[in-house]
């Protein structure tokens, strides 16, 4: 018994230190992902040597070392998110092993290696977030970093859109250089309006990433009450600005799905407030950027009369022909090279060529399953903060599912990083909800709704006391 107590005394501080380091690395990852453009990278590493990726590599190899040396037991932290990640890894490795290298160019072979490196980036974030975050406070710390970094990206987008001022030239870290192959146009034009990228590499990427961040920022503004009101709502405003300034249908769609799921899952009073705020937000866009709403409406209603949509629909027969050449595991992850002739703007079609039909199923599972897990975790929790967080995460993840149909999402590092962090936080929320359920079971609670009923009864009793709210 004494020996066991001694072992626990030795292990506990080490476990706390690992968790603290992981939370800090995830905060830095979130900040660098949104602040420093991914087309600035370390030349010796290549396109996957951008700032946020480097911190994710540290997370992944730190997780691996901790597991190998007995400082962390991954088997104790099983989540649906890790299952989805493993599925994508298995299919990608099978495709990598089976691809016909003799028919691929040097650029395509490099792309195949980059795809595996990108999976390492994704894995570092998901495993680090889902297995080392042990409390809502830790999740709030990471979300604050993500929200404020997203706010900075929104500020950069606002200056690009309204002032034509591009700050991205000053965001290159020492030792990094611009990847000329990316060819980013930070301030373009669409429908007579500036179309800007913020700190992303493409306007669509900026719009979708901001749309995924918006429900998370709103969640913080509602529940992170230890901070002043302006510190909670300013990130919401700046992140929201990045969505219309990207002049992107995908960005509007992402925001609509993300915020819609959050509002639908809120208690009735908050739901009414959220619905009432939507017309105000639309009016603010109209006043600040006259004519922008009309342009976006025109693009949404254009259908196949829009040249870009017509081109994508016209690519379906060519995609089918390409998939027939390697129908099950594709020609290799990351090997599809976009040309002016064949622009797909659809991640599922791109994955069908690269990873085959099995790969499309694995990608869909990787994107959809975390959203399902978030909703299940929400149903198991009685904590209103965790329930709303699960709803916000589910909304962000469902936005990623839908918008992967409207652009080749996995080709854009900012989207990849935001989606991986959302999935990792879903894994952490799943474990928190499971721990709450196990605690309820230990207390002899058999009714699944009883924890929530207890919370509501306690709230009503508190409201009836002097000084209650």
pLDDT of residue 451: 52
Q: Could you tell me whether strands 40-41 and 177-178 are parallel, antiparallel, or unpaired per DSSP bridges?
A: antiparallel
Is residue 403 in a domain? yes
User: pLDDT of the chain along its 469 residues, tens only?
Assistant: 344 343 344 445 566 777 778 999 999 999 999 999 999 999 888 889 999 999 999 999 999 999 999 889 999 999 999 999 999 999 999 999 999 999 999 999 999 999 999 999 999 999 999 999 989 999 999 999 999 999 999 999 999 999 999 999 999 999 999 987 777 889 998 777 789 999 999 999 999 999 999 999 999 999 998 899 999 999 999 999 999 899 888 999 999 999 999 999 988 888 888 888 777 776 665 555 555 665 555 555 555 556 666 667 778 889 999 999 999 999 999 999 876 557 788 999 999 999 999 999 999 999 999 999 999 999 999 999 999 999 999 999 999 999 999 999 999 999 999 999 999 999 999 999 999 988 877 766 555 455 555 555 544 454 444 444 3
pLDDT of residue 180: 76
Is residue 28 in a domain? no
Show Cβ contacts of residue 187 under 8 Å, excluding neighbours closer than 6 positions: 160, 164, 166, 194, 195, 196, 197
Contact at 8 Å (CB) between 391 and 261? yes
pLDDT of residue 467: 41
Is residue 186 in a domain? yes
pLDDT of residue 9: 40
pLDDT of residue 273: 82
Contact at 8 Å (CB) between 304 and 310? yes
pLDDT of residue 324: 95
Is residue 137 in a domain? no
pLDDT of residue 269: 82
- Per-residue b or e along 288-297, where b marks 16 or more CB atoms closer than 10 Å to that residue's CB: ebeebeebbe
pLDDT of residue 311: 63
Is residue 443 in a domain? yes
Domain, as residue range, for 223 = 79-114+143-463
Is residue 124 in a domain? no
**Distance of alpha carbon 264 from alpha carbon 414, whole angstroms:** 27
Contact at 8 Å (CB) between 148 and 14? no
Encoded tokens for 145: 């970093």
Is residue 15 in a domain? no
pLDDT of residue 61: 95
Is residue 172 in a domain? yes
**Distance of alpha carbon 396 from alpha carbon 375, whole angstroms:** 12
Residue 330: how many other CB atoms lie within 10 Å? 29
**Number of independent structural domains in the chain:** 1
- Per-residue b or e along 194-225, where b marks 16 or more CB atoms closer than 10 Å to that residue's CB: bbbbbbbbbbbbbbbbbbbbbbbbbbbbbbbe
């Amino acid at each position: 018994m004494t020996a066991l107590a001694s072992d626990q005394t030795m292990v506990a501080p080490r476990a706390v230190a690992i968790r603290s380091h992981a939370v800090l690395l995830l905060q830095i990852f979130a900040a660098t992902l949104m602040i420093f453009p991914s087309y600035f990278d370390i030349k010796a590493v290549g396109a996957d040597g951008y700032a946020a990726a480097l911190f994710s590599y540290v997370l992944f190899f730190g997780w691996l070392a901790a597991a190998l040396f007995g400082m962390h037991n991954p088997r104790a932290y099983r989540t649906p998110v890790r299952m989805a990640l493993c599925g994508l890894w298995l299919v990608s490795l099978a495709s990598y092993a089976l691809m016909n290298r003799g028919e691929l160019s040097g650029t395509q072979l490099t792309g195949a290696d980059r795809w595996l490196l990108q999976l390492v980036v994704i894995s570092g974030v998901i495993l680090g977030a889902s297995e080392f975050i042990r409390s809502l406070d830790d999740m709030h710390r990471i979300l604050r970093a993500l929200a404020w970094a997203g706010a900075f990206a929104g500020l950069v987008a606002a200056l690009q859109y309204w002032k034509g001022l591009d700050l991205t030239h000053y965001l290159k870290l020492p030792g990094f250089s611009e990847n000329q192959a990316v060819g980013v146009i930070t301030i373009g034009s669409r429908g007579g309006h500036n179309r800007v990228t913020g700190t992303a590499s493409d306007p669509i990427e900026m719009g979708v990433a901001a749309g995924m961040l918006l429900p998370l920022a709103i969640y913080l503004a509602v529940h992170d009450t230890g901070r002043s009101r302006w510190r909670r709502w300013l990130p919401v405003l700046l992140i929201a600005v990045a969505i219309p300034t990207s002049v992107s249908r995908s960005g509007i769609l992402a925001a609509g799905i993300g915020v819609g799921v959050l509002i639908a899952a809120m208690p009735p009073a908050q739901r009414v407030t959220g619905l009432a705020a939507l017309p105000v937000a639309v009016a603010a866009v109209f006043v600040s950027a006259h004519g922008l709403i009309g342009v976006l409406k025109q693009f949404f209603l254009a259908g196949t009369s829009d040249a870009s949509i017509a081109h994508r629909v016209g690519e379906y027969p060519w995609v089918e022909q390409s998939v027939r050449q390697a129908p099950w595991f594709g020609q290799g992850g990351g090997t599809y090279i976009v040309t002016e002739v064949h622009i797909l703007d659809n991640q599922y079609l791109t994955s069908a060529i690269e990873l085959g039909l099995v790969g499309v199923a694995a990608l869909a599972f990787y994107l959809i399953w975390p959203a399902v897990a978030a909703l299940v975790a929400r149903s198991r929790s009685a904590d209103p903060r965790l329930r709303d967080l699960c709803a916000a995460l589910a909304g962000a993840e469902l936005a990623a599912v839908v918008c992967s149909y409207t652009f080749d999402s996995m080709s854009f590092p900012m989207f990849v990083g935001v989606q991986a962090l959302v999935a990792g936080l879903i894994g952490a929320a799943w474990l928190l909800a499971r721990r709450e359920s196990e605690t309820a079971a230990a207390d002899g609670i058999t009714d699944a709704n009883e924890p929530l009923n207890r919370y509501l009864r306690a709230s009503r009793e508190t409201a009836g006391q002097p000084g209650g709210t």
